Amino acid sequence: MMVEVEDDPRETLMYVAAQTKEMARVEKEVYAPILRQWHPCPAAIAAVTLHACFGTYFKWFVSKMDGCLSSESMRALQTASDLDKYLVQMAHDDDGAGHGSKKMIPYDVDSIVVSLVTEWMDDRLQIGAECVRRARDSETWNPGSKSEPYAQSAVDLMKLAKVTVDVLMEIHQRWPMSEPFQNLADGIDRLVHRYSSFLASSCGAGTKEGYTPQLPPLTRCGQDKRLLHQLLLNLNCVAGGGNGEAAIATTARAMTRVRPTTSGATQRLYARLNTLHYMLGVLHSIDRSLAPRGQQRHIIGHRRARSSFFDRAYPAVEAAIVHVTELSGYRLVFLDSAHYFHQILYQGGVAEARIGPALCIMKQNMAFLCSVVSDRAQPLAVREVMKASIEAFLMALLAGGSGRAFSREDSSADLASLMRLFCSCGEGLVTEEVVEMEFAAAEGVVDLMGLPMEKLIDEFRRSSSGCMMMIPPMTRRWIRSDANTLLHVLCHRDHEAASRFLKKTFDLPKRR
């Protein structure tokens, strides 16, 4: 047979296979009954001959494929596989002893498909590795539009992974296979793990504590009582009776045109957050598609009793999300908004020293956060900002240096105002129960400031576990039961008994 079609070798292969099958049918049904008087198995001889002739052309076709795994290529390979089985069965039926079929070398289409799939997957994974290298070398992490606020390198990587899995699923419909699926899943697992680990390590500060200011050394309260009295008097007079609501309202009106203080570096952390959540969503989609209803029985046995194909990527992405979210919250509060939180809060005894300016700034920053950060990333991001804001407020109360002056009523009212800010962030971001839980520890610390001196010293002794001669270690956890927190409250208490206790127990110097 001469074939002059030169356009598409896949179409040519299917055409030749169809004609070969028709020729074999004619040999079996028309000529074999006549030729049987001269040969015991003429149909088997015809099947072996046709099988060898088509096999020569099939080898040429495979050599021209070059790793092409289109649906047309799969159809052509399926046609060749069907013809292979048909001719082998024809020879076996005509030669009961199977001598003819034993001489037929199978086309082994299954092995060819697996080899092509493996080569193709390796090429795709190499492209994925290039996406990771590009992210490391040139990704800017600038947030884009709200609809696609992700890093382009991550979009390229995850789209490549999703398309590759979809193509493999299509191939799987014709040739059920499990090993390529697992190899592809392992490759995607490594790439996503590497990408998310690099992303987390490229954020700068290392840990959230890197953004918190150094605490001043512990001293006994040694302010002049007349000065302290005047500072408190000024605060209470300006605040309108001590509750501070009028001052906060006045300052809030003055701050209505203040722009958010979110820096470019913090915005780039937001872009990283969006990218990680985007990757996590696509990873979940790929994980589900790798074990669909029709393929589950072929694949599950190769999952080594794991609940997911991506047992390295998932923990890496989730850990990176927690890390970047913490950094973004602490950077926003302690660096971008440091002037309003840690630097001027309760400094100087004027109305602007209350929390009003900080509330206005944080409201602007939270609105900006929600306009840039993707919906899935917002709840955790807002919660970390809330945690950082609480810590900044408590640091100003307990470790803010000697220039601050406030009453317990001031701090209690301002803490309540800060709490209301996060309660009003929007439905679905943080629930009222979560806000109350996060603020419970801060409320306990503020309550310490109203305890009688004897009870405060007793609580400190109990929390110190009998080690009264050593200053308790700083845990950076401002909670009522923490010995270091109680010690800071004592150091800021303008009381003679507190001063004597600190002098006798730790020989702390007076504040100057």
In the chain, where are the structural domains located? Answer: 9-107, 451-512
Query: Of all residues in the chain, what percent are helix, strand and coil, respectively (each to 5)?
Result: 70, 0, 30
Distances (CA, A) of 202 to 56, 156, 197, 497: 56, 19, 9, 50
Residues counted in the chain: 512
| CA angle (381 as vertex; 210, 262 as ends), nearest 5 | 65
Average predicted confidence (pLDDT) for the chain: 81
Least confident of 139-143, 399-403, 454-458, 502-506: 399-403
Pairwise CA distance, residues 172 & 293, whole Å: 13
Pairwise CA distance, residues 486 & 130, whole Å: 54
Q: What pLDDT score was predicted for residue 103?
A: 74
Bridge partners, residue 347, by sequence: 404
Does residue 251 register a pLDDT over 60? no
Q: What pLDDT score was predicted for residue 128?
A: 94
Tokens matching residue 251: 């300052």
The 3-state DSSP class for residue 510 equals strand
Tokens matching residue 173: 């419909």
Question: Region 29-49: what's the mean pLDDT?
Answer: 90
Tokens matching residue 254: 């003055």
Q: Which residue has the higher pLDDT, 210 or 297?
A: 210
Q: What pLDDT score was predicted for residue 25?
A: 93
Does residue 332 register a pLDDT over 90? yes
Does residue 304 register a pLDDT over 50? no
Cα torsion angle, 375, 380, 381, 386, sign: positive
Q: What pLDDT score was predicted for residue 204?
A: 75
Does residue 234 register a pLDDT over 80? no
The model's confidence at residue 82, banded by pLDDT at 50, 70 and 90, is very high
The model's confidence at residue 427, banded by pLDDT at 50, 70 and 90, is low
Question: Region 433-459: what's the mean pLDDT?
Answer: 89
What's the burial of 186, exposed, middle or buried (CB within 10 Å: 0-12/13-18/19+)?
Answer: middle
Pairwise CA distance, residues 37 & 40, whole Å: 7
For residue 362, give the nearest of 334, 384, 331, 333 by alpha carbon: 333
Q: What pLDDT score was predicted for residue 104?
A: 83
Alpha helical stretches, state H, 334-452: 338, 356-372, 378-398, 408-423, 432-448
CB 354 within 8 A of CB 414: yes
Q: What pLDDT score was predicted for residue 75?
A: 86
Tokens matching residue 119: 């080569």
Give percent above pLDDT 90 in the chain. Answer: 34
Pairwise CA distance, residues 409 & 43, whole Å: 104
Question: Region 146-157: what's the mean pLDDT?
Answer: 84
Does residue 105 register a pLDDT over 80? yes
- Indicate the pTM of the whole model: 0.80
What lies within 8 Å, CB to CB, of 275 at 6+ separation is 141, 150, 151, 154, 199
